[in-house]
Amino acid sequence: MLKVSPSILSADFGNLKEEILSLEKGGADYIHIDVMDGLYVPNITFGPPVIKKIRNISHTPFDVHLMIHRPERYIKDFVDAGADIITIHEEATIHLHRTIEQIKSYGVKAGVALNPSTPLDNIDYVLDYIDMVLIMTVNPGFGGQKFINSMERKIKDLRNIIEDRNIDVLIEVDGGIKLENAGRMKELGVDIIVVGSGIFEAEDIAERTEKFKRL
């Protein structure tokens, strides 16, 4: 079943509590939280204190995507704030395997994100140690971008690698996912879709979340 991880980057922060509760009403599998530092990507969002506050109003697993430089400095902070999955970018840390092991040492799941131009070969030697690969289908940093079509081949290639090696690794995609292409992601072998404006632009967030779930 295709799982849905709505990205609160596209939410109305003035009504964040109500919108998160609407996501839960619609059956969201995860809450996707994009953390940006203005250095690794050209935008700044929020950090552990905000996530900790959100944790108080939601029991949905937190899918925390760290778009930050040297994430190993802050892993424990995000775990303490309530992260259930922590995903880091391959290029953002010098010792990728060590940082993956650091995440898992706290009992949370570890993911590695790949930018559109980052090849799958860059994570070949850590695939056996991670729980998820996040394929960025837009260039990270801003919401509302258009899906990069060439990423379909990357997704298919990753699915083939996972099946050939018989490993238990989830595929998540993030960027430009709408109702019209979400079904295609399922066909390609994606396990989790991150949806931002495709959900939060709707008048009824719960109903839109349910529509993605029915796919």
Known catalytic residues are 34, 174
Q: What are phi and psi of 172, to 5 degrees?
A: -120, 145
Q: What are phi and psi of 46, to 5 degrees?
A: -150, 170
Surface-to-core class of residue 21, CB atoms within 10 Å of its CB (0-12 exposed, 13-18 middle, 19+ buried): middle
Sheet harboring 109-114: ordered strands across?
A: 3-6, 192-195, 170-174, 132-136, 109-114, 85-89, 62-67, 31-36
Q: What angle do CA 126, 94, 76 make, to 5 degrees?
A: 80
- The answer to whether the beta carbons of residues 58 and 20 sit under 8 Å apart is yes
Instruction: Give the chain's radius of gyration (CA, Å).
Output: 16
